[in-house]
Chain A
Amino acid sequence: MLNLAPRNKLGLVIDSPLLAGSGAVGYGDAWPPGLRPEDFGAIITAPVSAAPRKGRPQPRLTEIPGGFLLDTGGHNPGFRRLAASQIRTWRRLPTPVILALAGGEPGDRAWMAAHLEPLEDVIAGVELSVSEDVNLGETAAFIAAVRRATPLPILARLPVTRATYLARTAIVAGADALIVGTPPPASYPASQTLIEAPLSGPAAFPFTLRALSLLAELDLDSPIIAAGGVYSLDDALLCLEMGASAVAIRGLVWRDPAAARRLAINIRPFMPEMEGVESDEG
């Protein structure tokens, strides 16, 4: 067992270092063949916003060398509808569920966090994505606002290119763990238009590694979750060696569920131990 929020009273204990990353299994309700909730230490949902979003019309997807760009335009049913429709799914899942809260109007995320109380027994934490263009003050303000609104563990997802700049601020503001992170945005044509989205697929992995290695130099005392471009056991182990406590996958689940299942099985023996973190093995 490993605690991803050791300084939080509620903690966030996982039994596998492999997480289903943002929306890999939708809101915990979209499963590919062969994969089960027990294969993951935790499930991070697709982001939900305060109000419903229709998202972007087609096209949303384009292939690039080494991966793909996917821009859904934040398509989601909105916080209230999602909570009402998914609460039973979340309650049934044997794996901790981390609800990703999407940005929008200032205060939206704090508002959603404040309304999480009825879900606190089914939600194990929240993910907050820090966008590319916010400064330190804005980052501190919105994470602190969410911190005040909920006691649940907060996982701050940082843009990989600015992870070292934002990491300490995110932690001081109340983040219990960092996710590194959101790959750099890129553009590529699709059906006579341009899709602009963070890089997805194996092409994103070098960015994740660089962010991990720079963060290691900061000697942060908070768990780090590697996310972005992890496609094999070797990739995952490299992340753990470089200081990550856990690894999140998404594209692999979508593209090759059988390979994701093999990774889930093969990574279990490599569960990192963290200083000061309780393990059920003592």
Chain B
Amino acid sequence: MIQVRAQIRDRELHGAVHILHLHAPDLARQLHPGQAVLIQTGWYVDPFLRRTFYPVAIDDAGFAIRLAPDADRGRAWLRMAPQGAEIDILGPVGRGYALPERTRRILCLGQGDAAWTLLPLVHAASAQGLGVALAMEASTKRQTIPPRDLPITVEYHVATLDGSAGRRGDLRPLLPDLLRWADAVMAAGSLDFYHVLARMIEDARMILPRDYAQALYQTDFLCGFGACQACAADVAGGRRRVCLRGPVFDLVDILR
């Protein structure tokens, strides 16, 4: 983990959603898909807590975070921060997704805003020449990842609850085929989503084996280095600090 001053180098607006591109090469070099960064917002000590972000893009020069509209003061400050502004960042936090050796085909499965955190992994896996499928479910089209943000080789499936993009409903009908195709699954969503996923994996592959599916346990961190115990959650057979053991876990460990 390092602490850096990063500059806001660009801001993309997608309706009310902001994508902030941050110049932080030192941090970007250490950052892996699924790891978190902790961003200080506001003035002096207000708001006090750093905001936790899971980057939606990583390159040599820095990374990008996504700000969906909400009532949080810290994120509102970031939405208003001008281009060129410097912000204080701690990261990377914890362990990210790890592409298993000998994997040829990975299935990235995302739900809602969390699905965006899979984008760096989708790009990294695709750049390594792996077969990548991304399937996401969202409430509406506005939440979905635009196909132009994906490498051309990626197979993309979308389901929306209101039917505004892709198939209407959730991903369940698509999963049996996708799960039979994939050597490994990388997921980002809610705990309910992971329970459904685990059942579908058991149906498609008889068991939920260890080392088959990894999932992001999305939570907010206070210190991010294991001191404060604020992030301890029931994972991996005990109450454990997510900033040290996660935030990406084997799916088996998230459900235990």
In the complex, whether A23 has a CB less than 8 A from a CB of chain B is yes
In the complex, whether A58 has a CB less than 8 A from a CB of chain B is yes
A45 CB, nearest partner CB in chain B, Å: 10
With both beta carbons as reference points, the residue of chain B lying nearest to A60 in the complex is identified as B230
Q: Tell me whether A72 and B230 are in contact (CB under 8 A).
A: yes
With both beta carbons as reference points, the residue of chain A lying nearest to B230 in the complex is identified as A61
A257 CB, nearest partner CB in chain B, Å: 6
Q: Tell me whether A70 and B1 are in contact (CB under 8 A).
A: no
In the complex, whether A80 has a CB less than 8 A from a CB of chain B is no
In the complex, whether A148 has a CB less than 8 A from a CB of chain B is no
Give the A-B pair count, Cβ closer than 8 A: 96
Which of A6-14, A30-38, A92-100, A211-219 sits within the interface? A30-38
In the complex, whether A57 has a CB less than 8 A from a CB of chain B is yes
Q: Tell me whether B229 and A33 are in contact (CB under 8 A).
A: no
Q: Report chain B residues within 8 Å CB of A30.
A: 223, 225-227
Q: Tell me whether B45 and A33 are in contact (CB under 8 A).
A: no
Q: Report chain A residues within 8 Å CB of B10.
A: none
In the complex, whether B88 has a CB less than 8 A from a CB of chain A is yes
Cα distance, A202 to B48, chains bound together (Å): 9
In the complex, whether A54 has a CB less than 8 A from a CB of chain B is yes
B223 CB, nearest partner CB in chain A, Å: 4
Q: Report chain B residues within 8 Å CB of A24.
A: 227
Which of B149-157, B158-166, B192-200, B231-239 sits within the interface? B231-239
**21 A-B pairs in the complex with CB atoms less than 8 angstroms apart:** A23-B227, A26-B227, A32-B1, A32-B227, A57-B239, A60-B230, A63-B47, A63-B48, A64-B48, A67-B48, A68-B48, A68-B49, A70-B230, A75-B232, A75-B239, A202-B45, A231-B45, A253-B227, A255-B40, A257-B90, A258-B3
Measured CB to CB, the residues of A under 8 A from B are 23-26, 29-34, 46, 54-55, 57-58, 60-61, 63-68, 70, 72, 75, 201-202, 231, 251, 253-258
